[in-house]
Amino acid sequence: MAPSVSSSDIRLAHLLLLLSLLVAIPTATTAEPLAQICNSTGGRTNYAANSTFESNLKTLLFSLPANGSASGYCNGTAGDAPDDRVYGLVLCRGDVSAGDCRSCLDTGAQEIPQICPGSRSAVVWYDYCMLRYSDRRFFSVPDDVLKIPLSNTHNLTEVTQFSQQLNLLMARLVRYAAYNRSARMFATGDADYADPATTKIYGLVQCSMDQSADDCSTCLRGIIGEIPNYAFGKKGARYLKATCNIRYELYSFYKGSAMVSVSLSRNATPAAPLSPPMNIPAAQGKKKSNSTSTTVLAISILLGAALALVFVMCVYFFCRRSKQGQVCVRDTQEITTIESLLFSLSTLRAATDNFSDVNLLGRGGFGTVYKGFLPTGQEIAVKRLVAGSGQGVEELKNEVVLLAKLQHKNVVRLLGACLEGEEKLLVYEYVPNSSLDKFLFDPAASHQLNWARRYEIIVGVARGLQYLHEDSQVKVVHRDLKASNILLDADLNSKISDFGLARLFPVDQTHASTTRAVGTYGYMPPEYAMRGRFSSKTDVYSFGVLVLEMVLGKRSRAFSDSTSSTDILTCVWDHWTNGTVQDIVDPSLGGQYPGDEVRRCIHIGLLCVQEAPEDRPTMTSVVLMLSSYSVSQRSEL
């Protein structure tokens, strides 16, 4: 008779089997790190076992994968005392799924303390993700220290054309990734290559999403410039930095289709060969193994699913009892309360010399703007809102907190507010060159806006709107975009002003005579002016009108004020269809402009002012049309 086996023995056997599998078998999504840098910031080299710092690090590594896997990016902090606080960041490759991102981040969170034991700062790169932590705040800070170059071991048989196409591809990828945040600062692409064996070059670039667009571009261009030093004549390479990374190969290695494509021009002048490489020690990296058997894979998937379920439950209960606060801070600022943004009324009275007319910058439907100087010497612009706006103080405080988080080089920065008694004041950065209309529509000043400057202003406004609509933490529909609300800095770079003010006031308080819409006639689309319906496509329409004004050098309302019954849109459309757009270009340009760019802007303007909102492009599409040399409209213009 066979010996009896108790249920407790069976459970114990199952437990031992599970433990042995967990120890002996890696999960299917586990990957070897490509590279790592430990103690990356110098200073104190190690933390003590069972210390507060170690506890905070575990807390952060526990939370970041769960918070970052959905969007592919997250940064956060853990700990209150400065000496024990830990800053962390996770980034997944932009083409991987949320599941693959989570698997990679879970692996990294588990392995980084083992890879860099005791390190107070570390960064580790995998094929699908990157994890970084430090005892020093590094969010939004450019870095040129934490970097590792890796190159393919196989050599090219031809260098000149390869270098030319690679340079073109990388330039397009950088432009796409850096200035298209809706793509999560990530871009993939391919370039034609006239080699019978390998007809394309494949590339990928990515920046950490805490970087600004300009810092992203600088980072990527910097490491691309180093390609000749470490990968001269190689069939592929990648460069890993804490703030950005690139990769190119002669085979497709990314998921999905290419975002950017570069054709091979038969008439292109061949580029000179890359400069000879400097003698740089080769970086050491580990290769991923793909030898998992089918049986092990099946077991690993089941175990991985079970562990993921347990992990999610742990995260849920941990978050419920955690008193550390929210560790995932997607915004680059830590603006959470109105207190950090409040100015005293006495400070602003002193800054503006008691709102003296000498410091008056302008008047508008929402209030009067004054120039001022803070005790630190900083120049500011103070908007004194009209009394009786109907806006509750608490509601206005909440709006100010949200709007102060908007940060973009083409958007005027809201610095804070003053809410004392009946006074409601908003404090902005000061922009010295007044507004666009003062240059564009003044015959004595319009010559300062040559075509190159106008094109840069158009692109800047487009990028600012793209940020407000799609990339900022606060989604803002401007509702009153026009030349007088575009400010110009010392270098005549454009900055959108009065952004979000329509959110701060009741809808029936407006610049125009309607009780349903906030805005200026001539810039408002029909669905907004007649029915009060607005969306991001409202701003797209206004942008289209602004672009046409930039080309013609005339206000849109100048047409309605004239004896002619033709409005600006009809005028431009008639000349566009007749092929005579050169007849309506601003004469102050003196004929000095590239015809293709002018026609492109007119075409984009007409696309933006189409009657049906759904027919108008998004601002992301507009930015791509303005910045891409391969835009399909170009051949039609």
| Residue stretches of the annotated binding site for ATP | 383
The lowest-confidence range among 40-54, 115-129, 245-259, 281-295 is: 281-295
Rounded to the nearest 5°, which phi and psi values hold at 4? -75, 150
Question: In which band, very low, low, confident or very high, does the pLDDT at 586 lie, cut at 50, 70 and 90?
Answer: very high
* DSSP per residue, 444-456: TTGGGS-HHHHHH
Two tokens, residue 272: 């000179």
d(CA 421, CA 125): 54
pLDDT tops 60 at residue 59: yes
Three-class SS string for 105-144? HHHHHHHHHHHCCCECCEEEECCCEEEEEECCCCCCCCCC
Report the pLDDT value the prediction gives residue 197, as an integer from 0 to 100: 78
The lowest-confidence range among 29-33, 198-202, 541-545 is: 29-33
With 0-12 / 13-18 / 19 or more C-beta atoms within 10 angstroms meaning exposed / middle / buried, residue 171 is middle
DSSP classification of residue 535: -
% of the chain beyond a pLDDT of 70? 73
% of the chain beyond a pLDDT of 90? 43
Pick 461 or 527 by higher pLDDT. 461
| 544 contacts 537 by C-beta, under 8 angstroms | no
Cβ neighbours for 451, distance < 8 A, ≥ 6 positions apart: 589, 592, 593, 594, 597, 598
HSE at residue 318, side-chain half, CA atoms within 13 A, is 17
The lowest-confidence range among 61-65, 181-185, 434-438, 521-525 is: 181-185
Mean pLDDT computed over 431-438: 91
d(CA 321, CA 335): 24
Report the pLDDT value the prediction gives residue 274, as an integer from 0 to 100: 38
Mean pLDDT computed over 44-73: 89
DSSP classification of residue 151: E
Pick 624 or 247 by higher pLDDT. 247
Coil/strand/helix, residue 33: coil
Report the pLDDT value the prediction gives residue 500, as an integer from 0 to 100: 52
Mean pLDDT computed over 364-389: 82
d(CA 300, CA 22): 9
Report the pLDDT value the prediction gives residue 277, as an integer from 0 to 100: 37
Helix residue ranges, H only, 450-553: 451-466, 501-504, 526-531, 536-552
Rounded to the nearest 5°, which phi and psi values hold at 505? -130, 155
Closest CA to 18 of 408, 303, 285, 304: 303
Report the pLDDT value the prediction gives residue 235, as an integer from 0 to 100: 92
With 0-12 / 13-18 / 19 or more C-beta atoms within 10 angstroms meaning exposed / middle / buried, residue 491 is exposed
The lowest-confidence range among 158-172, 221-235, 275-289, 348-362 is: 275-289
Report the pLDDT value the prediction gives residue 403, as an integer from 0 to 100: 77
Distance of CA 32 to the CA centre of its chain: 29
* DSSP per residue, 171-211: HHHHHHHHT-GGGTTEEEEEEE---SS--EEEEEEEE-TTS
Report the pLDDT value the prediction gives residue 637, as an integer from 0 to 100: 35
> Which residue carries 């004469």 as its tokens?
587
Cβ neighbours for 155, distance < 8 A, ≥ 6 positions apart: 233, 234, 235
Question: In which band, very low, low, confident or very high, does the pLDDT at 301 lie, cut at 50, 70 and 90?
Answer: very low
Report the pLDDT value the prediction gives residue 266, as an integer from 0 to 100: 54
Report the pLDDT value the prediction gives residue 535, as an integer from 0 to 100: 86
The lowest-confidence range among 122-131, 218-227, 513-522, 602-611 is: 513-522
Please confirm, yes or no, whether 144 is among the known catalytic residues. Answer: no
pLDDT in tens, 263-280: 876 544 443 333 333 333
The lowest-confidence range among 42-46, 235-239, 303-307, 433-437 is: 303-307
d(CA 90, CA 73): 6
| Residue stretches of the annotated binding site | 383
The lowest-confidence range among 46-60, 244-258, 558-572 is: 558-572
Pick 622 or 362 by higher pLDDT. 622
Cβ neighbours for 255, distance < 8 A, ≥ 6 positions apart: 95, 96
Q: Which residues of 578-591 are buried (b: 16+ CB within 10 A; e: fewer)?
A: eeebeebbbeebee
The lowest-confidence range among 132-141, 318-327, 336-345 is: 318-327
pLDDT tops 70 at residue 318: no
- Looking only at the bridges linking them, the beta strands covering 260-262 and 186-192 are parallel
Report the pLDDT value the prediction gives residue 159, as an integer from 0 to 100: 86
Distances, alpha carbon 442 to alpha carbons 449, 555, 588, in Å? 11, 11, 10
**Catalytic-role residue among 100, 106, 210, 480:** 480
Pick 302 or 33 by higher pLDDT. 33
Report the pLDDT value the prediction gives residue 21, as an integer from 0 to 100: 35
With 0-12 / 13-18 / 19 or more C-beta atoms within 10 angstroms meaning exposed / middle / buried, residue 370 is buried
Mean pLDDT computed over 41-69: 86
- Alpha-carbon dihedral sign for residues 502, 508, 513, 514: positive
Domains of the chain: 24-139+294-321 (3.30.430.20), 147-262 (3.30.430.20), 338-429 (3.30.200.20), 436-636 (1.10.510.10)
Mean pLDDT computed over 277-301: 39
pLDDT tops 80 at residue 118: yes
Question: In which band, very low, low, confident or very high, does the pLDDT at 560 lie, cut at 50, 70 and 90?
Answer: low
Mean pLDDT computed over 320-328: 30
The lowest-confidence range among 268-277, 339-348, 390-399, 588-597 is: 268-277
Mean pLDDT computed over 319-324: 33
Pick 380 or 406 by higher pLDDT. 380
SS3 of the chain: helix, strand, coil, percent, to 5: 40, 15, 45
The lowest-confidence range among 133-142, 397-406, 606-615 is: 397-406
Cβ neighbours for 84, distance < 8 A, ≥ 6 positions apart: 51, 52, 53, 56
